Structures are given as structure tokens and as C-alpha cells.
Amino acid sequence: MSAAIEQRNQDATVYVGNLDDRVTEELLWELMLQAGSVCNVHMPRDKVTGAHQNYGFVEFRTEECAEYAVKVLNMIQLYGRVVRVKKASNDRKNLDVGANLFIGNLDPEVDEKLLYDTFSAFGGIVETPKIMRDPDTKASKGFGFVSFDSFEAADLAIECMHGQYLCNRQVVVQYAYKKDSHNERHGSEAERLLAQRNPNKLKPHTILWMLMATRQVEAVEQPRVYLIEKISVDGGKSTLKPAARGGATLTQIEETGVVYLIGGANREGTSFGDIHRFDLECRQPNYLAKGGKILAVDPDDASVQTEIRIKGVSWGGMEKIDMIPDGLWGTESPNSKGTQATTISKLQDFLDSNGFNSIRLSLNADYVNANPDPQLSYIHGYENPELTTWDDPEHVDYVNFLARVVETLQNRKLTVLLDIHRLTKYEQDAFWYTNPFVKVTESGAYKAATYLAEKLCGSRFWNIIGIDLKDEMLRAQWNADPEDSDETTDWHQAAGIMADAVLERCPQWLVFVGGASSFTDAQRFRVDEDYGLSNHWNGGNLQNATLNPLNVSTKNKIVLAPHAHAHGVYPQNYLYTPESNCTDDVEQFESLDLTLKQGETLCVDFINGTKTESKLGCSDSHVACSSYEHISIPETLKNYETVMKEALGDLPDNSDTPLVLGAFSGVYGKTQPHQTAVLAYLIDFAASVQGGYFYALNPDTERYLEDSADGKAGTFAVTHYGLMQTTSWQEPNADLLEALQRIPSTEIPCYGGKETNSAATIARDSAFMLAGIAATTIFLV
């Protein structure tokens, strides 16, 4: 892996310093591959202990790759330490021509990394920028220094950056005073003449130069729709103008001559992704629910209102034991079950390009309330640096990690609906509390919802549209007459108390309220006199919501979010003939002689439409029939219309409260004609109201098929089905994706983004320098 020093191409070699003890040659090799092809890696080691000396040398195939590594990888954080990357062959003292700048009035949040990312756009920086700090507290004193390799670069930096805003402060940029001089600044004519004779000068190492020098401009992604449309200059202050949706391109900015790089290619010509962080300083909208619509209102001008139509999807994982979103374990190869992972960047690109504008993020109340540390090590760090780069990655708690997920989803203007999905480790809950009964204010759901409203409310989290108070509960009730209610089961009362508490803490949010269940016969229904009693979907029963509406102090803040599903969640009796004899009582299976026959498969998946034995494994099927028969698809849809009328009453027609399907699902495709018909109906229903959230993005979501193994009797087969295929988090079920296009999707407004005064918005986290993603930079040409 390493080569002798005399054999190396020193011009193509970089020094990498301040490495943590845990860094290995393999890890360093993988990191440096983000800049181009690596020839060898050498980390000097102690001859006795074998431990490396916290630095190493990396030789690239070309000098251009080495320059690029210095540009994009210097000062990233690795295991909590800021890594130094610089050319091994440069004598930096010979590069110091006196083009030294003083940077004043710095915000305390500005660090050396941000200074480097900001000012390296204007030319070669000789040494790591220096911020003057208190020797005891290490706090910034509010000023620092940057040294360029040429006065042309320094002059350009002064022209472009003096008086501009960096982290909300108007910075001072001017030539620094010379040491041991009497108020004489750098930049004199004598210094400039000497600098012209200095042959030692860093090569331009902006990404734009790299593209031009290597003739890789054609590798830049073609324009789609820009996240930042233009930069205008007014009175010496630059203004970023946000456009419709995210994209990647090299964009010429009108007559200003500014090129804004938001996409490109590395030295090998490999196209890399979009810039992933734009601090547009969006104001937190005041979300309203009135007139059957959801509105995002500009807090600075209430007359500016944008209707929000939700095309959303649920994303599971944070409610489970690892406490992280599923699907991010690394894309190098499929896991042991044959499933390819994705990255947070690719996932956002996919959702954005297909019109999704909201994610219902599954959470666990216990984790919110106890705030343990999630298993960040299970997320591939280099592929998902947005989520894994922290000052102290060993001590990141659940809510802070959730905050990072929310902020990351702003990159594609995706709203987030916080979903109190579970109370504990168990997959289903009977109520909003765990037994024994406690008052609403002592319940796990109440504590989690109010804590999140306190911690995640404000402009920093402008894309949180609201909170779903509790996912499907097995025994919650919503009676027509409050006098008939029991506080131990009364979801109507509990939801009202929780909603008031949330809105008191975050009045800008919406509160999504799902329906009750049908635990008693009084809350069940019949689709026809020939059928027995049927159950509402858990979370779907809002039949009494108009007779006994929620009592909430703040008006126009409630969204009713019923759940509805096709056969996949449970093959309900109204989906088959009245004579069908089916049960979910496992104890009756043996008496019905429902054992599987030789060669029949209970657990199956569909790979490109072909039924195959699942590699994921399935839970035991809990549905079986001694005999059953499908009704026709028109009859199925007629029955389902009755189901929705029973569940919602006159809400769709006569309520001022908007409706959103909080969760809808099913298995879509030609092998499931009846499920497909029902799911298509639900998609159209979501399109007729304010939208809906498909459950789920996750390809390992377990679902029933609409038939038993032989299509006549026996135990119903189990499959896995989500928006993504079971083989890959990067490949959608294309037919479902196409069907979901019928749900309207509106752009989420960023109020205030076009008023941001900034010469450039820099990706502050070092994470955004990894994996070939360039920091946001302005180039003058």
C-alpha cells in the first residue's frame, strides 16, 4: 500500500496530519479516493508499538488530484479531529508574498474551516486561516487572518467580501498590519513588485479550474430546476434568490460575471452530487388549517399564503432499537439479505425529482423522553456525512440527531411530519400511554410531543410542518357523545389536551390527529346486510369527528389524518364474498386444517414482478381461511367507498378541517389486482383532499398478499412491500411510483430566502466536503 519516499511523485503527494489513532491506511485510502485515484498511502509507525504517528502521506496518480484533495478535504473532521491536508512538496514560506488579510467582526460560530472554505474561492491560501482565540476558553476573539499566494487573489477577496455577511455578521476584510511596523499594512507597491518575481505560486485549485484543466466540464449535470437561481448585487450586498426546486449545474449569473458552482466532476470525470446545504435563512411559516386547506403563511406578511398539497411518504427506522433511519448502511455491496442501501443525498434527490414534498418520520416516545445515543456507527459515515459528522460523535443524543435529520431534509425543501409512531420497543400500542393508565399529561406520547415542540420549533427547523400525535392505536375510542366516554380510552379528549400543549409551545405548527380504532361493536359497521361486522382501520375511525369535534384552544391548527389500507395490512371481510370463512384467531388454525402443503411458499417477495422466496424472512401469517372467494373489482371498490363513508362521515364535504391520509398502503401490481384497485382508489382519494403519506418508503415493510398460497384456502401469504424494491433502496417499484404521480404536490415556500444578504453561503459542516461534494462557493471569471 505504501511506497518508498524516493519512488513517490512528490508533486502528486499530500501530507495528511492530525489523524486520530483509529485511522488506518485502509480508511485513509477510502477517504482520499473522494479526490481521485490513489497510488499509495504511507503512515509512518513506531517500530516498537506499531502505532502510527498521527500523520501520513498519500500519493495520487496526478498532481491535479492532489490539488483537488487539498481543496476539498483539508480541515474535515474525522473521529472528532480536524484533519490537515496540504501538498507535501510545497515550501509554504516561499509562497508567503505578504498578501495577508485581516478578517474582523467575525461571528463566534465562524471557525477556521469556514474561513478556509469562504476565502479559498478567490485563490491559493498559503496557510490554514488563523482565528485569534482566548488562550483559556478557546473562544473566538472575533477576528482572524488569511494569507494568499498572490495580491490578485487578496484584492479580489477584499472586493467581494468586505461588508458582506458571514453567519449574520457584516465582516471587515482589509490588508493586515505588518509585524514590527508602524501602522503599515501589507499590500504596498514594493511587496507587489517582489511578488511578481516569485515563481512559487499555488496552482488555482477551485473546482471550476479543475473542470477546465481536465476538460471535464461536460461531466457537470445539466440544469434541472435550481435551488439557487441567481445572485444579484445591490449596494455591495449579494442576495441569493431561491428557485423552485433543487438541482445541479454551472450557472452564469447574468451580467455580473459570477459563476455559481453547484455541481461538477472530480479528477476522474465522475459526476458528483448537488451542493447539500444552503442557509437561505427561511422564516418559520405559520402553518394554518382552514377552509379545508393547509396554508403556509409568511410570518412577516400574513397576506402571503401558499397552499400546501402533501405528497408524502413515511420513513421508518428511528422508532426502532438502533434509533436511526433505515437504509443508510453503505452502498458498496448489498447486505446479507440482498438489499442495496442508499444515501441521504440520493434519497432526497429521488424524492424531490418525483414530486414528493414531505416525509412522515417515525419516532419513538421513549427515545425522545430518555434521549439516548443512537447507533450512528450503523450509518455509513463517508456516504452520509451530513448525518455523521459531529464534534463529538460518541455523544450525540436522539433529539439532536433528529434535529440534524430535519435540517438535512431542507436541502430539497422537504417538509417533515414528526410521527409519534411507538411508545416503547413494541410495534403496536393500545393507547397513547402504556398500562397502567395515567393522566394525559403523564403519558409517553404527551411528554414526547411537548418536548419536541419545545426543542424543534423555530426558523432553524422551518421545514417541520407539524406533529402526528400518535400512530395507530388498538383500543382508542372516539365516541359521538362525550358523556359516553371513558378517559382511559377517550382519544378525542386526549388528543385535544395534547394538541393544546403542543401549540402552546410551538404555535406555528400543525397538529395531525389520526382516528380511533373499533375495539367495541358500537364502533364497528357493516358494508352490506349480507356481511358481518367489520373493523375500521386502526387510526382510521373518525366517524364521530363532526358529532364530537376536537376541542382545541387555537383555531385553524388541526389536520385530521385518518389511516386507510388495502389488503396488505389485513384482508378485511368486506374484500371477499360474505360466505368466505376466514379468521385471524391463530388458535383456530389447527381445527381448520390450515397447514401449508409441500412446496408452497408462505414468505415471498416480488422482484421485477416475479414472485420469489423472500430472503428477508417473514413473521408468521395471522390470517387464514377454510374457504374464500374474491368479489369483483367493481364490487370491491363499492364496498370500499362504504368503508370510507363509515370512517369519515361527512368530513370530506362539510368540514372546515382539512383531511390528509396519515398513512395509506397496499401491494401494487398486476399480481395483486384487487389490492391494486383499492390502492389506486386511495391514491385518488388522497388527491381529492390535501394529500397523503404512503406507508412506507422502507422495502422491508411486511404486507399480506390478497390470496393464500393456493388461491382457494389456507394461510395467507406474507410479502415485503414499500415504495422501494426489496433488492434496493435506490430502485422504486416503478408502477407504484407512476400511480402516486396522481397526487398533487406543491412547492414548500422558503419565506425570507430571497432576502438573505450573503456573498456566498458556505457549507459549514465539513461533512459536505466528503464523497466528492464541493462546498458552496462563488467564482468570479
pLDDT tens digits for 326-345? 999 999 889 989 999 999 99
Single-letter residue type at 322: D
Q: Give the pLDDT band of residue 591 (cuts 50, 70, 90).
A: low
**Residue with more model confidence, 774 or 427:** 427
pLDDT the model gives residue 593: 57
pLDDT given for residue 77 in this prediction: 82
350 with 438, same domain: the answer is yes
**CATH number of domain containing 61:** 3.30.70.330
For the question of whether the overall pTM of this predicted structure is more than 0.95, the answer is: no
Query: Which of the pair, 532 or 278, is modelled with greater confidence?
Result: 532
pLDDT of residue 691: 98
> Cα–Cα distance between 249 and 747 in angstroms, integer?
20
- Both 667 and 570 in one domain: the answer is yes
Q: Domain check: are 477 and 565 in the same one?
A: yes
- Mean predicted confidence (pLDDT) in 620-642: 94
The dihedrals phi and psi of 73, each to the nearest 5 degrees, come to: -115, -10
264 forms bridges with which residues in the sheet? 272
Q: Which residue has the higher pLDDT, 590 or 524?
A: 524
Which three three-digit cell numbers place residue 197? 518575481
408 φ, ψ to 5°? -60, -35
Phi, psi dihedral angles at 232 (to 5 degrees): -105, 155
The pLDDT value given to residue 752: 83
Residue 3 has pLDDT above 90, yes or no: no
pLDDT confidence tier of residue 254, bands split at 50, 70 and 90: very low
651, 695: one domain: yes
Q: 253 and 191 in one domain?
A: no
CB count in 10 Å sphere of residue 607: 14
For the chain, what is the mean pLDDT? 82
Residue 556 covered by a domain: yes
Domain that holds residue 686: 313-576+634-703
What three-state secondary structure class fits 697?
A: coil
Residue 250 has pLDDT above 80, yes or no: no
Domain check: are 224 and 254 in the same one? yes
pLDDT in tens, 190-245: 778 776 665 555 444 333 333 333 333 333 332 222 333 333 333 333 333 333 33
- Lookup: cell for 775: 462546498
Is residue 8 predicted with pLDDT exceeding 70? no
What's the pLDDT score for residue 35?
A: 87
Mean pLDDT of 179-197: 70
Q: What is the mean pLDDT of residues 652-670?
A: 94
Does residue 445 surpass a pLDDT of 80? yes
- Residue 746 in any domain: the answer is no
Q: How far apart are CA 560 and CA 697, in angstroms?
A: 22
Mean pLDDT value of segment 644-664: 94
Instruction: Compare 601 and 435 and report the one with higher pLDDT.
Output: 435
Domain count, the chain: 4
Q: Could you say which of 281, 303, 332 is where a domain stops?
A: 281
| Cell 406474507, residue located | 718
Residue at 743 is within a domain: no
**Residue 708 falls inside a structural domain:** no
Q: Flag whether 308 is in a domain.
A: no
Query: Are residues 358 and 485 both part of a single domain?
Result: yes
End position of a domain, from candidates 154, 184, 205: 205
Torsion of CA 767, 773, 776, 778, to 10 degrees: 150
What pLDDT does residue 149 have?
Answer: 82
Per-residue three-class SS string for 568-613: CCCCCHHHECCCCEEECCHHHCCCCCCCCCCCCCCEEEEECCEEEE
Please tell me the predicted confidence (pLDDT) of residue 308: 98
Domain boundary among 658, 681, 703: 703
Long-range contacts of 297-304 (CB under 8 A, 24+ apart): 298/749, 298/751, 298/752, 299/508, 299/751, 300/751, 300/752, 304/751
Dig out the grid coordinates for 733 from the structure.
Answer: 417499484
CB 144 within 8 A of CB 130: yes
- Do residues 662 and 534 both lie within one domain? yes
Inter-residue contact 210 to 216 (CB < 8 Å): yes
The residue count of the chain comes to: 781
Grid cell in block for residue 22: 483509529
Predicted local distance difference test score (pLDDT) of residue 289: 98
Nearest to 315 by CA among 325, 303, 304: 325
Cell numbers linked to 629: 372467494
> How far is Cα of residue 333 from the mean position of the Cα atoms in its chain?
22
Q: What is the pLDDT of residues 678-694, one digit of tens each?
A: 999 999 999 999 999 99
353, 276: one domain: no
Q: If we measure between CA atoms, which residue out of 623, 714, 643, 635 comes closest to residue 673? A: 635
At 126, the pLDDT band (50, 70, 90 cuts) reads confident
Q: Would you say 403 and 411 are in contact if contact means Cβ atoms under 8 Å apart?
A: no
According to the model, what pLDDT value does residue 30 have?
Answer: 86
Overall average pLDDT of the 409-428 stretch: 96
Q: Is 676 left (phi over 0), alpha (psi -120 to 50) or beta?
A: alpha
771 within a domain of the structure (yes/no):
no
Interval 423-452 mean pLDDT:
97
Distance CA 317, CA 177 (A): 55
Distances in Å between the Cα of 515 and the Cα atoms of 433, 492, 573, 660 are 16, 9, 21, 12
Name which of 443-447, 460-464, 652-656 the model is least confident about: 652-656
296 strand-pairing partners = 287, 306
Q: What integer pLDDT is reported at residue 745 of this predicted model?
A: 97
pLDDT at res. 739: 98
Q: What percent of the chain has pLDDT over 90?
A: 51
- Rounded CA-CA distance 768/72 in Å is 9
Tell me the pLDDT band of 606, cut-offs 50, 70 and 90.
Answer: confident
- pLDDT-derived band at 594 (thresholds 50, 70, 90) equals low
DSSP, collapsed to helix, strand or coil, labels residue 419 as strand
Predicted confidence at residue 99, as pLDDT, reads 87
Rg, Å, the chain Cα set: 30
pLDDT at 95: 57
State whether 389 and 433 are in the same domain.
Answer: yes
Dihedral sign for Cα atoms in the order 723, 728, 729, 731:
negative
How far lies 107's CA from each of 98, 238, 271, 591, in Å? 26, 18, 34, 74
- Alpha-carbon distance 95 to 124, whole Å? 9
d(CA 275, CA 265): 12
Q: Half-sphere exposure of 468 toward its Cβ, with a 13 Å CA cutoff?
A: 31
Residue 155 has pLDDT above 50, yes or no: yes
pLDDT at res. 123: 82
Say if CB 97 and CB 152 are below 8 A apart: no
Beta-carbon contacts of 746 under 8 Å, excluding residues fewer than 6 positions away, are 306, 307, 308, 309, 357
pLDDT of 258 reads: 29
- List the CATH number of the domain containing 349: 3.20.20.80
**For 258-299, how does the pLDDT look when each residue is reduced to its tens digit (9 = 90+)?**
233 333 322 233 233 333 333 446 899 999 999 999 999 999
d(CA 76, CA 391): 11
483 pLDDT band, cuts 50/70/90, is confident
Please say if the pLDDT value at position 93 is more than 80.
Answer: no
pLDDT tier at 122, thresholds 50, 70, 90: confident
Task: Give the list of residues 6+ apart from residue 351 with CB closer than 8 angstroms, or none.
Answer: 313, 359, 412, 414
Q: Taking the C-alpha atoms of 538, 543, 544 and 549 in order, what is their torsion angle to the nearest 10 degrees?
A: 80
Whether residue 263 lies inside any domain: the answer is: yes
Taking residues 432-439, report their average pLDDT: 96
What stretches of 584-738 adopt beta strand conformation (E)? Answer: 604-607, 610-613, 624-627, 661-665, 691-694, 702-708, 714-720
pLDDT at 255 over 70: no
- Which range has the worst mean pLDDT, 9-18, 286-295, 336-345, 369-378? 9-18
As a whole-number percent, the residues of the chain with pLDDT over 70 amount to 80
pLDDT value, residue 253: 29
- Residue 251: pLDDT band with limits 50, 70, 90: very low
**Mean pLDDT on 90-114:** 77
Write the CA distances from 45 to 28, 42, 53, integer angstroms.
15, 9, 6
Residue 115 lies in a domain: yes
Which has the higher per-residue pLDDT, 25 or 206? 25
Indicate the Cα dihedral angle 726, 667, 645, 533, nearest 10°.
-110
Whether residues 73 and 110 fall in one domain = no
pLDDT of 561 higher than 90 = yes
Residues 176 and 219 in one domain: no
Whether the per-residue pLDDT at 569 is higher than 90: the answer is yes
- pLDDT tier at 67, thresholds 50, 70, 90: confident
CB atoms within 10 A of CB 605: 22
Report pLDDT for 214: 37
